[in-house]
Amino acid sequence: MAKMWNGRFKTATHPLMEAFGASISFDRELAPQDVAGSLAHANMLRAAGLLTKKEHDAVKRGLEAIAKDIAAGVFAFDPANEDIHMSIEAELTKRIGEPAKKLHTGRSRNDQVATDLRLWTREKQDALLERLRRLMLSLMDVARRERELVIPGYTHLQRAQPVLLAHHLLAYVEMFGRDRERLEDCRRRTNRLPLGAGALAGSTLPLDRDRVRRELGFDALAANSMDAVSDRDFVLETLFCLSLVAVHASRLAEDVILWTSSEFGLARLDDAWSTGSSIMPQKRNPDLLELTRGKTGRVVGSLVSLLVTVKGLPMTYNRDLQEDKEPLFDAVRTVDFVLECLAEFLPTLAFDRERAAAMLRGGFLDATVLAEYLVERGLPFRSAHEVSGSLVRLAEDTGRELRELTHEEMRAASPLIGIDVYKRLDPAKTPGSYATEGAAGPRSVSRALTAWKKRLRERAKGTART
C-alpha cells in the first residue's frame, strides 16, 4: 500500500529504513487513546463544517469498529504502516474510503501522538495513585496489628533507640503519601491538550481546540503550538515520580530483607511469598523483595534514558521523541506490578515478638533516655551524656543492663538520679515516654493512623475522575 506521504518521493522506502523507523510493535498500546483523539477531532471537524454529516457518520462508525477489533485482538496490523496512527488511518481508509481522507484535516502526527500519550499517561497516573493508596492502607493494617511491638531503631545500621515497628512502617506511609502528591501535581501538567497545534505552527482552518479539550477531559489547552508538539516534560516528570516510588519501595524491600534474614530474625516470610533454592533445601529466599530492589535500577534507567534523549533536541518535534514510549510503558508496568505485590505481601509478614524483645537487650538503647532524665533534673545535656556514658561503660564491663545497676552505683555517677529512674530504664517501655510531636511512640502512631485514614478516604473520592 502506498505511504501517506508518498506524493513527493520517486522510489520506495528501503526495507531497513522501514523496520528501523517502525514503532507499531510498541505504540499499539496507544490504540484506545488514538481512537478517542480521532473521534473528538472528527466531531470538532463536523461542528466546524469541515466534515459533512455523512462523512462524519462514516468516520465515527469506522473508528469505533476498528477500536473494537483492536480490543478483541482481531485487528491485522500491516507492518507497512509504521505506527499506530498510520495503522488506524490506513485501515479506516480501507474500510470507508474517501471520508477517511478528511480525518487528518488540520492535524499532524506530532500533535496527535502528544495527545495520545497524554491521555495514556493520565490514565496510568490515576491507576498508580490508587495502587499507592492500597499499599499505604496495607502498611497501615500491619502497623495497626503490630501497634505494641517495640524494635530497635537504627542509624548507620547500628542499634540506636527503641521505636515502635508501627512508626517504622508509617515512615513509608509518609514517603508514599508524598509520592502521591507528586503524581497528582504532575497529572495537572499532563492534563493539557496539544491537539490543534498541528505539525508545529497551528492551522489556518477554524479548528475549535476548546471543543476537543472539553470532549477529551483536558483541563487546559497547551498554550504554545511549538511547545505542544515538542514538550515531553509530562513523561519525564512521571518517570521521576515513578523512580522515586521505586526507590522508596526498594528501601522498604531492603528493610524487610534485613528483618527476614537469620541474622535479624525479626520476621518470617510466608511460604506463599518465599522461594526455594535448587540446591540448598533449607533456603527461604526473599525474591519478591530482591526483585523490587532490582527493578528500581530499570525504572531510574528509564528516566535517565529519556532525559538524555531530550537533551539537545532542537525545536520542535524530532523523531528522537518516538523513544519516549518504551521507557514510559516499561516503567509504568514495572512500578504498577511492584506496588500490587507489596500491598498483597506485607500483611503476610509474621513478626517474632520474642526476638524483637531480645534485640532490645544488651545494646543500652535506653542510654539516651537516662541522659534526658538527668536533663529534666537540671543537668546540662553534655554532662548528662557523660554520666549516662559512664554508666553504660560500667554496665557493659559487668555484663548488665542499665536497669540492673544498683541505685548506689547510679548515685555515684550522679546524685541527681532518683529511685524513679528505674521506671524509665527499660527499652521496651521507652517509646511510651517519647513526648515530641512525630516521635517513635504510640501517640504519633495513633495520630498518624487516624490522619492517614481520613486523608486516604478523601483522596480516593477526590481522584475519582471521569
Contacts with ligand ARG, residue ranges (CB under 6 A): 23, 27, 83, 109-110, 113, 317, 319, 321-322
Q: Rounded to whole angstroms, what are the CA distances from 47 to 51, 59, 341? A: 8, 14, 47
Question: From the CB of 117, what's the least distance to ligand ARG, in Å?
Answer: 8
C-alpha cell, 439: 516521635
User: Which residue reads 532490645 in cell numbers?
Assistant: 360
Residue 174 or 326: the one with the smaller Cβ distance to ligand ARG is: 326
Q: Which of 44, 106, 38, 47 is nearest to 67 (CA)?
A: 38
Q: Is 277 a catalytic residue?
A: yes
Other Cβ atoms within 10 Å of 102 Cβ, number: 16
Q: Is 385 a catalytic residue?
A: no
Q: 31-47 and 209-216 are packed helices; what angle lies between their axes, rounded to 10 degrees? A: 140
Question: From the CB of 306, what's the least distance to ligand ARG, in Å?
Answer: 13
Residue 169 or 321: the one with the smaller Cβ distance to ligand ARG is: 321
Question: From the CB of 23, what's the least distance to ligand ARG, in Å?
Answer: 4
Asked if residues 31 and 67 have their Cβ atoms less than 8 Å apart, the reply is yes
Question: From the CB of 296, what's the least distance to ligand ARG, in Å?
Answer: 27
Residue 122 or 325: the one with the smaller Cβ distance to ligand ARG is: 325
Question: From the CB of 93, what's the least distance to ligand ARG, in Å?
Answer: 18
Asked if residues 14 and 22 have their Cβ atoms less than 8 Å apart, the reply is no
Residue 1 or 358: the one with the smaller Cβ distance to ligand ARG is: 1
Task: Give the CA-trace dihedral at 383, 385, 390, 393, to 10 degrees.
Answer: -170
Pairing of strands 220-221, 192-193: parallel
Q: 53-72 and 31-47 are packed helices; what angle lies between their axes, rounded to 10 degrees? A: 170
Buried b or exposed e, range 345-364, using 16+ CB within 10 angstroms = bbeebebbeeebeebbeebb
Q: Which of 232, 243, 214 is nearest to 121 (CA)?
A: 232
Q: Which of 25, 261, 277, 390 is catalytic?
A: 277
C-alpha cell, 417: 538520679
Asked if residues 292 and 336 have their Cβ atoms less than 8 Å apart, the reply is no
Q: What Rg, from alpha-carbon coordinates, does the chain have? A: 31
Question: From the CB of 80, what's the least distance to ligand ARG, in Å?
Answer: 14
Q: Which of 161, 151, 162, 302 is nearest to 239 (CA)?
A: 302
Q: Which of 41, 85, 104, 156 is catalytic?
A: 156
Asked if residues 190 and 118 have their Cβ atoms less than 8 Å apart, the reply is yes
Buried b or exposed e, range 153-162, using 16+ CB within 10 angstroms = beeeeebebb
Residue 296 or 322: the one with the smaller Cβ distance to ligand ARG is: 322
C-alpha cell, 451: 490522619
Phi, psi torsion values for 155, nearest 5 degrees: -130, 145
Residue 23 or 302: the one with the smaller Cβ distance to ligand ARG is: 23
Residue 311 or 319: the one with the smaller Cβ distance to ligand ARG is: 319
Question: From the CB of 73, what's the least distance to ligand ARG, in Å?
Answer: 22
Question: From the CB of 14, what's the least distance to ligand ARG, in Å?
Answer: 16
Residue 62 or 194: the one with the smaller Cβ distance to ligand ARG is: 194
Q: Active-site residue numbers?
A: 156, 277
